A and B are shown apart, each in its own frame.
Chain A
Amino acid sequence: MANDTPVKNRDIQAKQWNLGIEIMVIVAIALLTIFLVPPALTAIGQAFRIKLLGRFLSLAIVALGIDLIWGYTGLLSLGHGLFFALGGYAFAMYLQLQLPPGQLPEFFMLFGVEDLPSFWQPFYSFPFTIAAVLIVPTLVAAILGYLVFRNRIRGVYFSILSQAALIVFFNFFNGQQKLINGTNGLKTDTTFLFGTQVSDPRVQSFFYILTVILLALAYLLCRWLTSGRFGRLLVAIRDDESRVRFSGYNPTSYKVVVFAVSALLAGVAGALYTVQSGIISPKSMDIAFSIEMVIWVAVGGRGTLIGAIIGTLLVNFAKSILSEQFPQIWLFFQGALFLVIVMVLPDGFVGWLKNNPLDQFRTLIGKPKLITTYPQLESDPVILEERNSLERDIDR
């Protein structure tokens, strides 16, 4: 007991030190992505990829949310497109309303709507819009989550329910032409933000930078959530929920909070993606799109956070490059990729990197693999003596 405290302190110091390094690395990567990557891409004549990168980085924010709820808490949501679209629509509605006084967004004329529907009114206000982007997806997720988790719906049933909710919203948005332009969705690239057209390069590069910053913040938020006691409880819920109950915790409230946070991230991502791609439509509530999000996380490695970001970028750039070359082939490739990942790298790329290459590297340089043993074995004097004498024998 006496020498317990200094060890503890050293542990804490090491943790703080690691956290410091990690934050510095994140800031450095963010700065590189902001200042170095765009000129570099322009220099090699790939300037259009900057815009793609911006979009993919915003998708990485959703992927972080999926990792939080699936990788850590074990709830496979196949309906995150819903929260993504809610964020996107909220921001697009604000942009649509940036018109001279008295005018209505164009599509309303097509359907003969003369008065602005009342739920559009508050979207004249910028602060309200930002609040809506953040709060609407969070609230929808919290209510949905509360009903589902309180009734102890888990596993496959949760996944099916998340898809069902997605379809309900999809049909609603798809059918309401007079309210939100139905299938066509809301265009944002011809609208104005603070007097400048949204498709203007200056606005776009502003959103690129904003995306990088928000992604870094989202990553830090997820790191904070998953590192402490809260994060360990999420893992505990994933591994053995009823044990958690008998330890006196109510898993329902934890799951609701995590589900809401992941929806919040999806909403932010939706808004960022919308301005950078120029349109939000019910297509973003396609079931396929929500499943794709899960694939990104699976490819990168679940329960790793950084894997979610890497997976998103990897899959999406592969998609854009492959579909330029072979327009028809992408879906087959995506299916194959998922199969390969599930069968060969079940922990995803990052999970694989974490576990294996070190061992492989050690075999390469002729050293034995590291074996996990009980710490007491490593410090047991008898065993140490035996091992040393063995090594002496080998040397001779």
Chain B
Amino acid sequence: MKETLTANIMTKILEIQNLTVSFDGFKALKHLNFSMNEGELRVVIGPNGAGKTTFLDVITGKVQPTEGRALFKQKNLRSLAEHQIARMGIGRKFQTPRVYLNLTPRENLELSCNRTKGVFDTLFGKPSKGERKTVSGLLETIGLTTKADIQASLLSHGEKQRLEIGMLVAQSPTLLLVDEPVAGLTDEETYQVGELLIALAQTHSILVIEHDMEFVRQIARQVTVLHEGTVLFEGTMDEVQNDQRVIDVYLGQSTNSTEGAS
């Protein structure tokens, strides 16, 4: 009872209302409704083609919705460019690690950490002492202090994933969107990334998209299941695992029996 009360008082950081995205008639998202509270760590799961990545594309401004709207802190994100949305405080981590391979981890972090992102500020300004401190602190958090000054292309896959999460945090966003952070990682690395996300969740709102059920179990509190562009189910991990519709979708049973179950 007490929990629901606080949930109501807490402001919604992200609200998606009746969102539809169609590419040449193909509807990647269909009348999707979704909302997330400030400070929440939410995991979105769903089979391939459920529209998870498109969902992130809409929030970050890469794709414009055909219908409906996405609100971030009650502000409509439509018609804002990617960099404007990023400056409002939404950071995104891509499915494959996207770091600047020809720069060192330190330089990667410094670019993301930069507070004044105009051309001339970047040209004439120098990284402040505070920024340099943030960067070396972050290097420590993501465990790359010893490799701070070698080319990022020499890092392993897992290190690149951590570096990109570090870059995200350096932007100091209020909402982190994390797309399949553990794809291609070893079990140990997966666990490390999970711990990193849980630690970050204390100060950020985080939306994670993931396939790896083991990993989801490690970090998830609230899980949303997407299927064919709409929300199929929302609940705790245990509820999700025991829901017949979710099981059907994941086990790939025929459409008939899915309908029968629901």
Residues of A within 8 A of B82 (CB): 242, 245-246
Q: Is the CB–CB distance between A253 and B100 below 8 Å?
A: no
Can you spell out 5 A-B residue pairs with CB atoms less than 8 angstroms apart? A245-B81, A246-B82, A246-B92, A254-B122, A257-B119
For the complex, is B10 an interface residue (Cβ under 8 Å from A)?
Answer: no
Nearest chain-A residue to B146 (Cβ)?
A376
CA distance A245 to B122 in the complex (A): 15
CA distance A374 to B156 in the complex (A): 11
Contact of B114 among A229, A245, A253, A257 (CB under 8 A): A229
- What mask results when residues 223 to 260 of chain A are scored 1 for a CB within 8 Å of chain B, else 0? 00100111011011001101101111110011001000
CA distance A333 to B100 in the complex (A): 37
Q: Is the CB–CB distance between A374 and B154 below 8 Å?
A: yes
For the complex, is B117 an interface residue (Cβ under 8 Å from A)?
Answer: yes
- Chain B interface residue count, CB cutoff 8 Å, equals 40
Q: Is the CB–CB distance between B100 and A248 below 8 Å?
A: no
Given contacts A4-B136, A232-B111, A245-B82, contact A239 B60 (CB under 8 A): no
Nearest chain-A residue to B147 (Cβ)?
A374
For the complex, is B171 an interface residue (Cβ under 8 Å from A)?
Answer: yes
> Which of B91, B112, B127, B171 is packed against the most chain A CB atoms within 10 Å?
B112
Chain A nearest CB: distance from B118 CB in Å? 7
Contact of A229 among B86, B111, B137, B147 (CB under 8 A): B111
Residues of A within 8 A of B171 (CB): 247-248
For the complex, is A394 an interface residue (Cβ under 8 Å from B)?
Answer: no
CA distance A235 to B110 in the complex (A): 14
Q: Is the CB–CB distance between A249 and B146 below 8 Å?
A: no
Q: Is the CB–CB distance between A253 and B119 below 8 Å?
A: yes
Q: Is the CB–CB distance between B81 and A243 below 8 Å?
A: no
The stretch from B44-52, B101-109, B186-194, B215-223 touching chain A is B101-109
Given contacts A229-B111, A229-B122, contact A248 B117 (CB under 8 A): yes
CA distance A128 to B123 in the complex (A): 28
CA distance A240 to B153 in the complex (A): 13
> Which of B86, B87, B94 is packed against the most chain A CB atoms within 10 Å?
B86
Q: Is the CB–CB distance between B146 and A374 below 8 Å?
A: yes
For the complex, is A392 an interface residue (Cβ under 8 Å from B)?
Answer: no
For the complex, is B195 an interface residue (Cβ under 8 Å from A)?
Answer: no
Given contacts A240-B98, A245-B86, A247-B86, contact A253 B60 (CB under 8 A): no
CA distance A375 to B106 in the complex (A): 15
For the complex, is A8 an interface residue (Cβ under 8 Å from B)?
Answer: yes
For the complex, is B239 an interface residue (Cβ under 8 Å from A)?
Answer: no
For the complex, is B21 an interface residue (Cβ under 8 Å from A)?
Answer: no
For the complex, is B132 an interface residue (Cβ under 8 Å from A)?
Answer: yes
Nearest chain-B residue to A380 (Cβ)?
B146
- What mask results when residues 130 to 166 of chain B are scored 1 for a CB within 8 Å of chain A, else 0? 0010001100100000110110001000000000000
CA distance A232 to B125 in the complex (A): 14
Q: Is the CB–CB distance between B100 and A254 below 8 Å?
A: no
CA distance A225 to B137 in the complex (A): 28
For the complex, is B70 an interface residue (Cβ under 8 Å from A)?
Answer: no
Residue positions of A touching B, CB distance < 8 A:
1, 4, 8, 225, 228-230, 232-233, 235-236, 239-240, 242-243, 245-250, 253-254, 257, 372, 374-376
Q: Is the CB–CB distance between A375 and B111 below 8 Å?
A: no
> Which of A230, A248, A253 is packed against the most chain B CB atoms within 10 Å?
A248
Residues of B within 8 A of A1 (CB): 136-137, 140
Residues of A within 8 A of B75 (CB): none
CA distance A257 to B120 in the complex (A): 9
The A-contacting residues of B in range 214-262, CB under 8 angstroms, are none
For the complex, is B73 an interface residue (Cβ under 8 Å from A)?
Answer: no
Chain B nearest CB: distance from A242 CB in Å? 7
Given contacts A232-B111, A236-B111, A374-B146, contact A250 B103 (CB under 8 A): no
Residues of A within 8 A of B27 (CB): none
Chain B nearest CB: distance from A58 CB in Å? 26
Chain B nearest CB: distance from A228 CB in Å? 8
Q: Is the CB–CB distance between B103 and A236 below 8 Å?
A: yes
- What mask results when residues 82 to 96 of chain B are scored 1 for a CB within 8 Å of chain A, else 0? 110011000110100
Residues of B within 8 A of A4 (CB): 136
CA distance A249 to B123 in the complex (A): 13
Given contacts A230-B123, A232-B111, contact A246 B60 (CB under 8 A): yes
Residues of A within 8 A of B86 (CB): 245-248
CA distance A75 to B194 in the complex (A): 39
Q: Is the CB–CB distance between A375 and B146 below 8 Å?
A: yes
Residues of A within 8 A of B209 (CB): none
For the complex, is B167 an interface residue (Cβ under 8 Å from A)?
Answer: yes
Given contacts A229-B127, A254-B119, A375-B146, contact A239 B111 (CB under 8 A): no
Residues of A within 8 A of B62 (CB): 242
Q: Is the CB–CB distance between B83 and A239 below 8 Å?
A: no
Residues of A within 8 A of B94 (CB): 243
Chain B nearest CB: distance from A375 CB in Å? 6
Given contacts A229-B122, A247-B86, A249-B117, contact A235 B102 (CB under 8 A): yes
Chain A nearest CB: distance from B258 CB in Å? 36
Chain A nearest CB: distance from B112 CB in Å? 5
CA distance A30 to B118 in the complex (A): 35
Given contacts A229-B111, A242-B82, contact A235 B140 (CB under 8 A): no
Chain B nearest CB: distance from A260 CB in Å? 11
Q: Is the CB–CB distance between A374 and B150 below 8 Å?
A: yes
Q: Is the CB–CB distance between A250 and B123 below 8 Å?
A: no
Nearest chain-A residue to B62 (Cβ)?
A242
Q: Is the CB–CB distance between A247 and B107 below 8 Å?
A: no
Chain B nearest CB: distance from A358 CB in Å? 17
Q: Is the CB–CB distance between A247 and B147 below 8 Å?
A: no
CA distance A78 to B111 in the complex (A): 30
Q: Is the CB–CB distance between B119 and A372 below 8 Å?
A: no
19 further interface pairs, Cβ-Cβ under 8 Å (given A236-B111, A239-B102, A240-B100): A225-B123, A229-B111, A229-B125, A230-B123, A232-B107, A232-B111, A235-B103, A243-B98, A246-B82, A246-B86, A246-B92, A247-B112, A247-B171, A248-B86, A249-B111, A257-B123, A374-B147, A375-B146, A375-B147
